[in-house]
Amino acid sequence: VGHPERERELSGACEVSLRLGDSVVKGEMTVTGMVAGTVDGVQASFAASAVARLTCVRCLTEWDEALSVTGSQHFGPIPDENGYAIEEGKIDLAGPAEDEIALALPAAPRCREDCRGLCPTCGTDLNDNPCDGHGEESSSPFTVLKDLFDS
């Protein structure tokens, strides 16, 4: 603090466990970065990586996907709006890195761009097996509306 000319590289790993909808990041998160002194604290720039377990919103297939993010965080003697501050002369990049990983999780993951999803009647995965249809019978409340448009 108060030494803008001082810089220091850092690296480390920590356990992370977070969930956003059906997306889960659990296991090791690695963080590398550079910390530079400022007049009122330290500025940290970092890169973080972790593996997320994602579930396709269309067909419910699960897969692991590597996430890599970058970010920066200013640490001062007084906690910021996220609660990050210099505590006992130390900073902890796990929180800001975890925040960036959470922001990188897709809101509606898809196993592939052209995922066809599941048949709404029988649940067949339409990516693997074409569904032959289920005749005209349907338990959908919109069947009556369809009949109106067909006449």
**Claim to verify: residue 61 and residue 134 sit in the same structural domain:** no
**Claim to verify: residue 29 and residue 95 sit in the same structural domain:** yes
**Claim to verify: residue 86 and residue 121 sit in the same structural domain:** no
pLDDT band for position 149 (50/70/90)?
confident
**Claim to verify: residue 124 and residue 68 sit in the same structural domain:** no
pLDDT band for position 132 (50/70/90)?
confident
**Claim to verify: residue 99 and residue 29 sit in the same structural domain:** yes
pLDDT in tens, 2-22: 566 688 999 999 999 999 988
Q: Is residue 109 included in any domain, yes or no? A: no
pLDDT in tens, 48-95: 999 999 999 999 999 999 999 999 999 999 999 989 999 998 999 999
Query: Would you list the DSSP string of the chain?
Result: ---TT-EEEEEEEEEEEEEETTEEEEEEEEEEEEEEEETTEEEEEEEEEEEEEEE-TTT--EEEEEEEEEEEEEE-SS--TT----BTTB---HHHHHHHHHHHS-SS--SSTT---B-TTT--BTTTS------S----TTHHHHHHHH-
pLDDT in tens, 94-131: 999 999 999 999 999 999 999 999 988 888 899 998 88
**Claim to verify: residue 100 and residue 128 sit in the same structural domain:** no
**Claim to verify: residue 99 and residue 126 sit in the same structural domain:** no
**Claim to verify: residue 77 and residue 123 sit in the same structural domain:** no
Domain of 145, in residue numbers? 116-151
**Claim to verify: residue 64 and residue 33 sit in the same structural domain:** yes
Q: Is residue 151 included in any domain, yes or no? A: yes
Q: Which residues of 79-110 are buried (b: 16+ CB within 10 A; e: fewer)?
A: eeeeebebeeeebebbebbbbbbbebbeeebe
Cα 109 from chain centre = 10
Q: Is residue 14 included in any domain, yes or no? A: yes
- So what's the pLDDT on residue 112? 95
**Claim to verify: residue 100 and residue 122 sit in the same structural domain:** no
Q: Is residue 134 included in any domain, yes or no? A: yes
**Claim to verify: residue 150 and residue 79 sit in the same structural domain:** no
- So what's the pLDDT on residue 122? 85
Environment class of 137 (CB within 10 Å of its CB; exposed 0-12, middle 13-18, buried 19+): exposed
